[in-house]
Chains A and B, each alone.
Chain A
């Protein structure tokens, strides 16, 4: 793959600037092969949720020199949660919380699509889902999109069922 944005260039820019630059330089989107199917234990009556990465984002992340290390996002989410806890009734603002790290952090290199799915899981799915230590039942699965039903008539009744064989695997 032709490198459209070097790490040296990227580390001098903000995250939104890197995305816009990759877009203007013709970095092509990649249609995702996978989605994350997950359930929120805080919403027991809700159907499962399906998270699918943006093709643009996936193309840029697979190019590399775009996203920061995922630990930066996790850190920011924890900072935000702690600030909200410490300031009940106040509206959260990154300015008041000392600023987010992820727009300015050092970039990482190219990722495979599978690595991107692991990344998006930790970024866009609550930590209590992918890092659940309360029980044995899995709260999520990364599956091929072809496995997700096309018929959405009973979309609000979808549940996450994982075969025991899959679990064993």
Chain B
């Protein structure tokens, strides 16, 4: 029996008795082939009037050769056509469209129908207009017959390139869009948690610093040193005076600390005080509380000089006590000069008072006849006639501005 070229359908000789078996075989073959490419199942045949249909069953409208699916189980109309029944019972049926199908790799001269999917290298497209393909997939796209859904032709290459860089250089990365290749630049040295730039560190306390061309190691500094900069490189150093900015001292905080933070404790004469030396550019100097009191006692003094001495006894004129007196001159009986260690500024601008202890039953007086910037003359004599006599104790006090 003759058959068709492609699918070997039986070309039945209708004079053959019986020929229905050959005919059925043809239909089985058609059914199998359609099922292979069309996922429309559960087709029950041409719609028939007055027939019980179930949900999901599909029927063909022989008037326009369309396929319809049952949405509500019912018995078809015995009087209306299929289309008239669908109009009367719009919720009973729904139209079935042709499902998508895979048409394999695109090929030239091939007849494509709508919703067929094709692949071309790394692209995946769908046929939007039935056509017979021509020169290329791209031509189908440009003609509007195919729409590309996925284009994976620009995927990243699975073979990136690694370049070695020098120690301390920055890592680099580049991408070539035409080849899809990434190129990575990796500094030499250890990688990972420590990092290539920190690889120079060797000892606890080391610090990594950027040198002229690469990262370098700065070993830990000595105790009580700080990190300083010369404007180019850091180094360890003790704190020099020049490194302290006067303005860095917050005067307000110091004041607050004085008032609020320090406990008041009674000072002792030997306690130290830090001062700025007026004669040495304000450099600090230390003195004691007693030293300050000493200066105050000088500044507040009203009696500039004094002297008490024996004018007649065994110790001659040796002063028993004195201030600003270098010595005493015994000029003769009841006549003495007290010489000042620091001159008075002017002989007319200081005063001196003297006293003499009564000796030998006489009332004695002491007075001056000559006041000089360098010394003062003290005379002691009898009150009764003014004749000079020695006194066991002579005292002199002088008040005035010193030179």
Asked if A82 is at the interface of the complex by the 8 Å CB criterion, the answer is: no
Contact of A53 among B297, B326, B375 (CB under 8 A): B326
Q: Is the CB of A16 within 8 A of B325?
A: no
B-contact bits for A103-133, CB 8 A (1 contact / 0 none): 1000000000000000010011000000000
Given the complex of chains A and B, what is the CA–CA distance between A94 and B327 in angstroms?
22
Q: Tell me the smallest distance from the CB of B400 to a CB of chain A, in Å.
A: 11
Give B342-368 interface residues, CB cut-off 8 Å to A. 342-343, 345-349
Q: Which of B60-68, B127-135, B313-321 contacts A (4 or more CB under 8 A)?
A: B313-321
Q: Tell me the smallest distance from the CB of B343 to a CB of chain A, in Å.
A: 6
Asked if A145 is at the interface of the complex by the 8 Å CB criterion, the answer is: yes
Asked if A80 is at the interface of the complex by the 8 Å CB criterion, the answer is: yes
Asked if A55 is at the interface of the complex by the 8 Å CB criterion, the answer is: yes
Residues of A contacting B188 in the complex (Cβ-Cβ under 8 angstroms): none
Contact of A92 among B316, B325, B346 (CB under 8 A): B346
Give A5-52 interface residues, CB cut-off 8 Å to B. 12, 14-17, 19-21, 23-25, 29, 31-32, 35, 46-47, 49-52
Asked if B403 is at the interface of the complex by the 8 Å CB criterion, the answer is: yes
Q: How large is the interface on A (under 10, 10 to 19, 20 to 34, 35 or more residues)?
A: 35 or more
Given the interface contacts A50-B317, A93-B345, does A16 sit within 8 Å of B324 by beta carbon? yes
Contact of B347 among A35, A77, A91, A120 (CB under 8 A): A91
Q: Is the CB of B316 within 8 A of A56?
A: no
Asked if A102 is at the interface of the complex by the 8 Å CB criterion, the answer is: yes
Residues of B contacting A123 in the complex (Cβ-Cβ under 8 angstroms): 326, 339
Asked if B390 is at the interface of the complex by the 8 Å CB criterion, the answer is: yes
Q: Is the CB of A16 within 8 A of B328?
A: no
Given the interface contacts A16-B298, A91-B347, does A156 sit within 8 Å of B333 by beta carbon? yes
Residues of A contacting B390 in the complex (Cβ-Cβ under 8 angstroms): 152, 155
Residues of B contacting A162 in the complex (Cβ-Cβ under 8 angstroms): none
Residues of B contacting A137 in the complex (Cβ-Cβ under 8 angstroms): none
Q: Is the CB of B329 within 8 A of A94?
A: no
Residues of A contacting B373 in the complex (Cβ-Cβ under 8 angstroms): 80, 92, 94
A-contact bits for B277-302, CB 8 A (1 contact / 0 none): 10100000000001100110110010
Q: Tell me the smallest distance from the CB of A26 to a CB of chain B, in Å.
A: 11
Q: Is the CB of B342 within 8 A of A15?
A: yes
Asked if B322 is at the interface of the complex by the 8 Å CB criterion, the answer is: yes
Q: Is the CB of A16 within 8 A of B346?
A: no
Contact of A145 among B297, B316, B319 (CB under 8 A): B316
Contact of B319 among A16, A56, A77 (CB under 8 A): A56
Given the interface contacts A80-B373, A91-B347, A99-B403, does A49 sit within 8 Å of B331 by beta carbon? yes
Given the interface contacts A91-B347, A120-B327, A156-B332, does A52 sit within 8 Å of B341 by beta carbon? no
Q: Is the CB of B341 within 8 A of A15?
A: yes
Asked if A95 is at the interface of the complex by the 8 Å CB criterion, the answer is: yes
Considering residues B298, B322, B327, which has the most beta carbons from chain A within 10 angstroms of its beta carbon? B327
Asked if A169 is at the interface of the complex by the 8 Å CB criterion, the answer is: no
Given the interface contacts A52-B318, A94-B345, A94-B403, does A24 sit within 8 Å of B294 by beta carbon? yes
Residues of A contacting B403 in the complex (Cβ-Cβ under 8 angstroms): 94, 99-100, 102-103
Smallest CB gap from A50: residue in B: B330
Given the interface contacts A19-B341, A24-B297, A50-B316, does A56 sit within 8 Å of B322 by beta carbon? yes
Given the complex of chains A and B, what is the CA–CA distance between A92 and B374 in angstroms?
11
Given the complex of chains A and B, what is the CA–CA distance between A32 and B403 in angstroms?
27
Asked if B146 is at the interface of the complex by the 8 Å CB criterion, the answer is: no
Considering residues B325, B341, B348, which has the most beta carbons from chain A within 10 angstroms of its beta carbon? B341
Asked if B183 is at the interface of the complex by the 8 Å CB criterion, the answer is: no
Residues of B contacting A76 in the complex (Cβ-Cβ under 8 angstroms): 343
Asked if B38 is at the interface of the complex by the 8 Å CB criterion, the answer is: no
Residues of A contacting B314 in the complex (Cβ-Cβ under 8 angstroms): 150
Q: Is the CB of A56 within 8 A of B321?
A: yes
Q: Is the CB of A19 within 8 A of B312?
A: no
Residues of B contacting A152 in the complex (Cβ-Cβ under 8 angstroms): 312, 333, 390
Q: Tell me the smallest distance from the CB of B134 to a CB of chain A, in Å.
A: 111
The contact sample of 10 A-B pairs, CB cut-off 8 A, is A16-B342, A20-B323, A50-B330, A51-B339, A56-B322, A57-B322, A80-B373, A94-B343, A120-B327, A150-B314
Q: A95-B346, A103-B342, A155-B332 are in contact. List 11 more A-B contacts (CB 8 A).
A: A20-B298, A29-B321, A32-B318, A50-B330, A55-B318, A55-B319, A56-B325, A57-B325, A91-B347, A91-B348, A124-B326
Going nearest first, the 8 A-B pairs with the smallest beta carbon separation are: A100-B403, A93-B346, A94-B403, A50-B330, A53-B327, A124-B339, A54-B319, A54-B322
